[in-house]
Amino acid sequence: MLFSEFILKPDLDFAAGEVLLIDKPLTWTSFNVVNKIRHSIKNHPTFTRDGVKLKAKVGHAGTLDPLATGLLIICTGKKTKEIDSYQGQEKEYTGTFYIGATTPCFDKEKEIDFTFPTEHITETLIRETAQQFVGVQQQTPPVFSAIWVDGKRSYDLARAGEEVELKSREIEIKSFEIEQISMPEISFRIVCSKGTYIRSIARDFGLALNSGAHLSSLRRERIGIFDVKDALSL
């Protein structure tokens, strides 16, 4: 269903709080989606109480990169207080890794900086390497990420050419399936914990293959019990 059709439903109360499932389009930032929805609902009658205009509170439960698509949970009104509970749930992603080349940001936002040999990489090696990533581990996030560093976003510092050093964090990869191999690209499905960066998995996967890799596409399929199949389109 289109979001523009959904907001016409008479039983919605955006001030009391709604949880919206949105299928984020390619190249949109998560904040683009929040702003689009805030603009669309700010004049909704539920934001008026006793003739007084209320602020249209809108927030998202977990950033998606501009070059990723898929499920974004948006909370409005009083439901914004529940955002942390959604952020903490496991995530499921599908996508592709490009094997044999790296980029500074670990995806296609930047141009390729280094290339590596791939002749030694076999299907068996790819599948065995994927299984080595399953479990609890430490992961270093990409410097091109939304993590706060001294009051600034890490990606803003990185884009300004500043040196950024991020601490590793504990994550869990619950499953890592290779769905198709068509070199130099491989398709995957990953189920993981909160705070996992698939771009970092791409980087580490390339290193584990004694080569290089970057993320060439990504789609978030699920957050906890919420599935992108049930999401609204913008």
Angle value at C-alpha 179, between 175 and 181, nearest 5 degrees: 125
65 counts as catalytic: yes
Q: Going by DSSP bridges, is the β-strand pair 213-223/68-76 parallel, antiparallel, or unpaired?
A: parallel
The span from the CA of 105 to the CA of 101, in Å, is: 12
**Could you check whether the bond before residue 184 is cis, i.e. omega within 30 degrees of 0?**
yes
Are 62 and 24 in contact by the 8 Å Cβ rule? The answer is: no
Beta strand segments in 100-163, E: 101-102, 114-115, 135-139, 148-149, 152-153
Q: Do residues 206 and 116 make contact, with C-beta atoms less than 8 angstroms apart?
A: yes
Distance CA 142, CA 75 (A): 27
Distance CA 152, CA 97 (A): 29
Among residues 11, 23, 50, 65, the one annotated as catalytic is 65
- φ and ψ at 152, to 5 degrees? -130, 155
What positions carry a catalytic annotation? 65
